[in-house]
Amino acid sequence: MPADPGIVIIGASLAGTKAAQALRLEHGYDGPITLVGDEPHLPYQRPVLSKGYLLGTSGAADLDAPVTAGKSSVSRRMS
């Protein structure tokens, strides 16, 4: 059986990150996943930014949208 070539998600925003998480957590996919985007930064959670971070109740680490789930991590290719 040929090796799994993986899945490429175009768009490394929060939506792309959530798609990768859904593949891992909801569908049990454990092959390679690559997020491709032209964003200069890692995905972040906008509601947390607009509320908690700006009010000083959340730190910068709380903004990160995690892109690892399950057995395999997700690689990122960003500008």
Specify the number of domains making up the chain: 1
Q: Which domain holds residue 28?
A: 7-71
Residue 33 lies in a domain: yes
Residue 77 and residue 28: Cα distance in Å, rounded? 23
pLDDT tens for the chain, 79 residues: list them: 668 889 999 988 778 888 988 998 899 998 999 988 887 776 666 665 667 777 877 776 666 665 554 445 666 666 5
Query: Model pTM?
Result: 0.60
Residue 47 lies in a domain: yes
Q: Containing H/E element for 22?
A: helix 14-25
Domain harbouring 60, CATH code:
3.50.50.60
Residue 76 lies in a domain: no
Residue 32 lies in a domain: yes
Residue 78 lies in a domain: no
Residue closest to 33 by CA, chosen among 1, 63, 66, 5:
5
Residue 43 lies in a domain: yes
Q: What is the DSSP string of 25-53?
A: HTT---S-EEEEE--SS--B-HHHIIIII
